[in-house]
């Protein structure tokens, strides 16, 4: 019953409006180079991330696991990721850590040679909550072993936790717990749609994380997802919270600049095309992450996922060509322009670098 919410999330994300209201990527423009000065056929989209070689700087960001139907989704994603040569993250492995019978829906990714596999546990699970003891480093190791993960995403989702009925809202000690985990396993600190500030990124870096997935505002809003669940259950307070916080967070493009503290940054949050990924990389990200965009093809087949990934990579390559970027390193340095509402965010940024 507890994990019925995983199935609810899929159902809601496929059928309801769960998107943040603004599409921030439309406010980032890359500068067209009329004579790119290179042969498009010679463009190299490959990249090394966390010591692994990917054919393109694309990650399928965490979606699911732990309920009937999840195995097919993870199989389809993993088979396509292996075929195309991109990274994949599984959804929260909490269900399988609490009930090993559910591990199969994650373990399926081990059947494929995916170049970069990212495990997933929640920061709220690393500290004691009302009815539950904390997961420790042993569970983190177990999660990694379950899928032969290269790195473990520890997701920060307190926006979601405040709107969901069974929410874990004790955040005291999470940073320290992430630090303890990062001493034993490689950790990717990951938000889930509300972004990360520079201060937060610095604190996470000092705790030893190896990378940051900014999971910014502009795509799937978990406040919106939980709003729909709350409406379905006639939960008045929670549905109103979900509405009120629908657009809470730091836009993904802003968060990429904020989280630039010398670690690889994965830009997830509202990416729909390879052009969005190119924009994210021009802002300094190491890779673009796609979550909800991959859900519908993942419900279908590995071929549908691979087709979607190939279109994304073709769009990314086209943007590289039209900006004269021979490789991903050059793409990180191409100029961009920020317009509209997003430019107000960018102009308001002020960084006081902490003393170390």
Ligand X SMILES: Cc1cc2nc3c(=O)[nH]c(=O)nc-3n(C[C@H](O)[C@H](O)[C@H](O)COP(=O)(O)O)c2cc1C
Smallest separation (angstroms) from ligand X to the CB of 168? 13
Measured from each CB, the residue nearest to ligand X is: 219
| Alpha helical stretches, state H, 48-131 | 70-84, 94-98, 104-107
Smallest separation (angstroms) from ligand X to the CB of 290? 5
Residue 288 · residue 59 · CB < 8 Å: yes
Among positions 284-313, residues that touch ligand X (CB under 6 A) are: 290-293, 295
Report the candidate in 172, 97, 192 with the shortest Cα–Cα distance to residue 141. Answer: 97
In whole angstroms, give the CA distance from residue 53 to residue 110.
Answer: 17
In whole angstroms, give the CA distance from residue 327 to residue 273.
Answer: 18
Smallest separation (angstroms) from ligand X to the CB of 264? 16
Residue with Cβ nearer ligand X (76 or 291): 291
Q: Which x/- pattern, by CB under 6 A, does the window 107-146 give for ligand X?
A: -------------x--------------------------
Tokens representing 12 are: 């809601």
Residue 254 · residue 216 · CB < 8 Å: yes
User: How is residue 69 annotated by DSSP?
Assistant: T
DSSP class per residue in 222-243:
HHHHHHHHHHHTT-HHHHHHHH
Residue with Cβ nearer ligand X (186 or 193): 193
Residue found under tokens 């509202």: 270
Smallest separation (angstroms) from ligand X to the CB of 235? 20
Q: How many residues at the interface with ligand X, by CB under 6 A?
A: 27
Count how many residues are written for the chain: 356
Smallest separation (angstroms) from ligand X to the CB of 288? 9
Q: What are phi and psi of 217, to 5 degrees?
A: -75, 140
Among 153, 174, 256, 320, binds ligand X (CB under 6 A): 153
Q: Which x/- pattern, by CB under 6 A, does the window 43-62 give for ligand X?
A: ------------------xx
Smallest separation (angstroms) from ligand X to the CB of 335? 25
Among 45, 79, 92, 125, binds ligand X (CB under 6 A): 92
Residue 150 · residue 186 · CB < 8 Å: yes
Please choose, out of 254-262, 267-275, 299-307, 337-345, the segment that lies near ligand X by the rule CB under 6 A.
Answer: 267-275
In whole angstroms, give the CA distance from residue 283 to residue 266.
Answer: 11
Among 86, 87, 105, 155, binds ligand X (CB under 6 A): 155
Among 159, 187, 271, 283, binds ligand X (CB under 6 A): 271
In whole angstroms, give the CA distance from residue 184 to residue 179.
Answer: 9
3-state secondary structure of 258: helix
Smallest separation (angstroms) from ligand X to the CB of 331? 20
220 binds ligand X (CB under 6 A): yes
Residue 121 · residue 140 · CB < 8 Å: yes
193 binds ligand X (CB under 6 A): yes
- Return residues touching ligand X (CB under 6 A): 9-10, 13, 61-64, 91-92, 120, 153, 155, 190, 192-193, 215, 219-220, 268-271, 290-293, 295
């Amino acid at each position: 019953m507890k994990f019925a919410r995983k199935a609810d999330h899929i159902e809601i994300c496929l059928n309801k409006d769960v998107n943040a209201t603004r599409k921030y990527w439309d406010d980032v423009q890359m500068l067209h180079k009329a004579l790119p000065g290179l042969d498009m056929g010679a463009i190299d989209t490959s990249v090394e991330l966390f010591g692994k070689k990917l054919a393109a700087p694309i990650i399928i960001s965490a979606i699911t696991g732990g309920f009937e139907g999840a195995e097919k989704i993870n199989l389809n994603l993993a088979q396509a990721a292996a075929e195309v040569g991109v990274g994949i993250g599984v959804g929260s492995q909490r269900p399988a850590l609490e009930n090993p019978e559910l591990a199969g829906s994650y373990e399926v990714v081990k059947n494929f040679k995916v170049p970069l596999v990212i495990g997933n546990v929640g920061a709220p699970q690393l500290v004691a909550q009302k009815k539950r003891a904390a997961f420790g480093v042993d569970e983190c190791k177990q999660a990694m072993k379950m899928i032969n993960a290269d790195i473990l995403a520890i997701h920060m989702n307190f926006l979601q936790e405040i709107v969901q009925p069974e929410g874990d809202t004790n955040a005291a000690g999470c940073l320290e717990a992430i630090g303890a985990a990062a001493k034993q396993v490689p950790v990717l600190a990951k938000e889930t749609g509300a972004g990360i500030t520079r201060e937060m990124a610095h604190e996470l870096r000092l705790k030893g994380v190896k990378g940051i997935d900014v999971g910014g505002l502009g795509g799937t809003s978990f406040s919106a997802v939980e709003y729909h669940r709350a409406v379905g259950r006639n939960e008045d307070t929670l549905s109103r919270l979900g509405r009120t916080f629908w657009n809470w967070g730091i836009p993904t493009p802003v968060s990429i600049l904020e989280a630039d503290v010398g670690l690889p940054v994965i830009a997830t949050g509202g990416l729909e095309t390879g052009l969005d990924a190119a924009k994210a990389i021009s802002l300094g990200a190491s890779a673009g992450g796609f979550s909800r965009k991959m859900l519908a093809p993942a419900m279908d087949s590995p071929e549908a996922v691979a087709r979607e990934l190939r279109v994304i990579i073709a769009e990314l390559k086209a943007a590289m060509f039209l900006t004269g970027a021979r490789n991903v390193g050059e793409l990180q340095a191409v100029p961009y322009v920020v317009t509209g509402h997003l430019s107000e965010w960018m102009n308001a940024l002020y960084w006081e670098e902490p003393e170390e």
